[in-house]
Structure 1
Amino acid sequence: MALSFGVVYFLIAGVPPLPPLSVYDKLIYGVASALVLGFSLDFIRTPPFMRWLLFPLGCAALLYWLEHPGIETAGFWTLVGLGGLWLASIAALWRLEAEREAGINPVVMLMIAALGLAAVAMLGGATVIAFLSVALAAALFGFTVWNWPTNVFPYGATLLMGAGGTLFLLAWIAALHEPAVNLPALGILVLVFFGDMAAKHMHLGESRAAKAAAPIVLAAVCCVPVLGAVALAHFLNT
């Protein structure tokens, strides 16, 4: 999955310099850092409460690095905006971690959120963000199909931090560096990560068919806030 996203990134943006010069240069290094952090958490088998503590720290470090050096001289409202992005990312990560044992549900939510980000970014003229979000969604779709209806590969911190970190970096860049991208629409996309709560109320049962249908139902539920975000972005951008 990481390889497919990396290939698309290099085809679109080329090989970034080191040290990176722009936020798009920093993107791939941020993705690699998130993957390494997630793999480390899986390798040392950190207990759940440690992951819940490390996720906020990891997001804060990535966001600070993405906006360095300008963040040191940022104004009050800019810092408030950065804090809002950080809190939204933490809420999403915690929801994904809470669903860790729920099969491919977290991957489905990430996939739908990536498609929503692609649509909102495209409506805002951020084509690079849109293409990279589609690449991420395609990679997650492949992982989902490979693990449906029976899980083959485990879902751990590597996937959560790798895919989630990539999605959040793309969303942060769209929010902070693409002025035409609609911010309220991006905010609505956070609701995707609460879609499992609504899907559970449908009581599909415990049969094999019900378990196979659960990810499809979850995807449909998660599409509701995505459609709302796209509609809002469309009407406010016209």
Structure 2
Amino acid sequence: MKLLMIEDNESVSEMMKMFFLNEEWDVTFKDDGKEGLDVFLEDPTSWDMITLDLNLPTMDGVSVCREMRKHSSSVPIVMLTARDSESDQVIGLEMGADDYVTKPFSPITLIARIKALHRRAQIKEDGDGNTDHGINDDFDVKTEHFKINIKTREAYFDDELVSGLTPKEFDLLLTLARKPRQVFSREKLLELVWDYQYFGDERTVDAHIKKLRQKIEKVGPQVIQTVWGVGYKFDDSNIKE
């Protein structure tokens, strides 16, 4: 794996360097936001993973993430932050981060998150490469009002595109819509969408659900419902014409 870690805390970088070496990953370290972005932009498609601190000199992590997403929509990005507030997490996810890890963190937890995101990215890449038969207008999931195309990674509400979905928001919508009215716990969604069985943070799901709902509401009624004390479900069966 080729990984870029943009982190201005030297002790964190030194700690993670030992764990990355143990995994035999090819890692580049940068302690400045602008310098890290410049290295990334030299060849955006060459990176398998980005870990990005929120608080960086010269250019903050949110701005770096935003610029990276302009050049690559698929490279997994893990945001590292010393703050433990929902607003910071949502901002990072809104700018295109796939996940966040709050400092202080266990190196084993970060390694597990990175591996999980990498596995999901590889599965998606392999699927995209093996499902093209020259037909791009077929829909893999059809509900009362939604149509979802896995190949183009597009979702439509009554033929209107739900625009601006990040990779994880699309995967989350797809997972829920494949089984309408089935309730998924946060733990199950972490396992299915993020591939986290033991190291997941349930707030990751809540933050993505919040942003996904906002994007769906731009084109139609809300179809992702909260089942209090349990989790979430997709249900568009009661929408009035």
Higher strand share: 2
Indicate whether the TM-score tops 0.5. Answer: no
TM range (shorter): under 0.3
Higher helix share: 1
Give TM-score, length-normalised by structure 2.
0.27
